Structure 1
Amino acid sequence: MTRGILDFLRGGAQAPSPRQRRKLFFERAPDHIYAVGDVHGYDDTLGRLEELIVADARGRAGTKWLVMLGDYVDRGPKSSAVLTRLTTQPLVGIRRICLSGNHEAVMLDFLGNPSTNHQWLRLGGQETLASYGLNRLPADREEQKKLLRSLIPVKHVAFLESLPSMLQVPGYCFVHAGLKKGVAPADQTDADLLWLRPLASDNAAAANGLVTVHGHTPVASVEIGAGRINVDTGIYMSGILSAVRLSRREPPDIIQSR
């Protein structure tokens, strides 16, 4: 158990958030990778998408990973259920790897430093608190912390705190938001990986020989370009949750659920 989570349990003032998140580098990619865009509390839709992915993977030989690109909480009605799914329900035959989004980072900051005017509450945090049964935040800070500790499972906090900010395999770099141009993957900051908005010019060519696969910036349909793939189809506006399958010997394919 990390210092941040102990602080959370004991009511300390220190936010349970790491200074710099881990980055994952793999020298070999699996045969198939499914990358899922921003979920934002839509657990039922995520469940249907996972069923479609498992069915698709069942008919394919080789190793399979599912990479979740972050933003599991906020805006939708079932953020708590999404975190429970990701922490307790593994997928048969598929390795699931979850990355952090900016909404997870802001939620962690709120848990360590709660207040009625915290920016997280304006970014969808109210809906997340409601999914834990907290519809009204008391004015007193100590009361806030006491309620949060009683309602939010430590397992959820530990999960949020442990999420890496990047995953790289040969040919692809998976992040929540994007990569800063001209900076090597190992030197990217969490601020950019979790918050950056990509430019149209980033589509032109792969940077460092890597196609960036990301969410964070909602688009009407999955964008597949030479330099990057955007999988965030804005579920809280469109009702559509999207994934892209990246296979060794096939072009990218899109899987979606409502």
Structure 2
Amino acid sequence: MLKLLKSLVSGARAEPPAPPTLVPAGQRVYAVGDIHGRLDLFEQMIGLIEADDAARSGQGVVKTTVILLGDLIDRGPDSAGVIDRARSWAQRRRVRILAGNHEEMFLGAFERDETLRHFLRHGGRETLLSYPIDPEDYARMTLEELRAAMPDFVPQADIAFLRGLEDQIRIGDYVFVHAGIRPGVALDEQVPGDMRWIRGEFIADRTPRDFAVVHGHTIVDEPELSPLRVGIDTGAYASGRLTAVGLEGAERWLLVAQDESAEAAA
């Protein structure tokens, strides 16, 4: 019996650890959580990423990719400004942007009254008022009138930009999506609706896989980093904290843009 117990213990200790999650050699990735119209925090985050990337550049030639995880818009005060800043930043460096469920609602609001109604209930009012529409005119409009007027004050360039956003990005052992993935479905068979909207089934899934999912969408008090997933939506529009994760090789680190007034209130 003693020999059997020693064998079992020895066997348990001999089990190899899970392999590290890796970014390919020569690459560095920054993923930024849900911005939700907080241009102030986004500007601060851009400065943090640029400074961090420059500080690490002395370690050798590295190709850096920035990924915005979606939900650039809604709820915060300056969605139009966030869209414009994201577009201009992408002209200066490699920035890839995922479509979130709020971008999906915004685009659908141009076509269907019911989607517009849903959009307005979830922060779309703030998005529309970040464009040059008179608040009094907005308040007087019926839903049908508002939808008809939207193309007059939302630039076509912004609509085209949002229609061109990505649904899924894979770099090394990391998969980047807005909300998550459907458990049990191959990556190349995932549907945009799940990747933009899924929550509970994905968060609760503990099925082993050979990649980690980096996502936003589900608000957490503190970033969640595990072998299976990295969740970094810290509720910027309400908390005043916008979080990003940096990834290189097997290393992970966090960057946080903080609203000083929110920090003082806490």
Q: Structure 2 length normalisation: TM-score?
A: 0.79
SS at match of 1:85: helix
Looking at structure 2, the residues matched to 69 and 55 of structure 1 have their Cα atoms a distance apart, in angstroms, of: 20
Looking at structure 1, the residues matched to 116 and 95 of structure 2 have their Cα atoms a distance apart, in angstroms, of: 35
Shift of 1:49: 0.5
Give the corresponding residue for 2:45: 49
Deviations 1:117-139 (A, max 9, x none): 61001010011111113332512
Shift of 1:146: 4.4
Give the corresponding residue for 1:232: 233
Looking at structure 2, the residues matched to 31 and 148 of structure 1 have their Cα atoms a distance apart, in angstroms, of: 41
Number of residue equivalences? 227
Deviations 1:75-111 (A, max 9, x none): 000001001111223375x410000000000010001
Give the corresponding residue for 2:71: 71
Q: What are the ranges of 5 or more consecutive residues in structure 1 without an aligned counterpart?
A: 1-26
Give the corresponding residue for 2:36: 40
Looking at structure 2, the residues matched to 254 and 140 of structure 1 have their Cα atoms a distance apart, in angstroms, of: 42
SS at match of 1:118: helix
SS at match of 2:52: helix
Structure 1 pair 116/173, CA: closer, same or farther in 2 (3 Å)? closer
Give the corresponding residue for 1:99: 98
Structure 1 pair 32/133, CA: closer, same or farther in 2 (3 Å)? same
Shift of 1:144: 2.6
Contact 2:109 2:147 in 1 (8 A): no
Looking at structure 1, the residues matched to 78 and 187 of structure 2 have their Cα atoms a distance apart, in angstroms, of: 33
What is the percentage of aligned positions where both structures have the same residue?
Answer: 35
The structure with the largest alpha-carbon Rg is: 2
Contact 1:221 1:233 in 2 (8 A): yes
Matched AA of 2:30: Y
SS at match of 1:255: strand
Alignment of 1:76-87 (within 5 A): 76-87=76-87
Looking at structure 2, the residues matched to 128 and 32 of structure 1 have their Cα atoms a distance apart, in angstroms, of: 32
Give the corresponding residue for 1:221: 222
What root-mean-square deviation, in Å, do the aligned CA atoms of Structure 1 and Structure 2 show? 2.1
Q: Structure 1 length normalisation: TM-score?
A: 0.82
Matched AA of 1:163: L
Structure 1 pair 255/91, CA: closer, same or farther in 2 (3 Å)? farther
Give the corresponding residue for 1:8: none
Matched AA of 1:241: L
SS at match of 1:53: helix
Give the corresponding residue for 1:89: 89
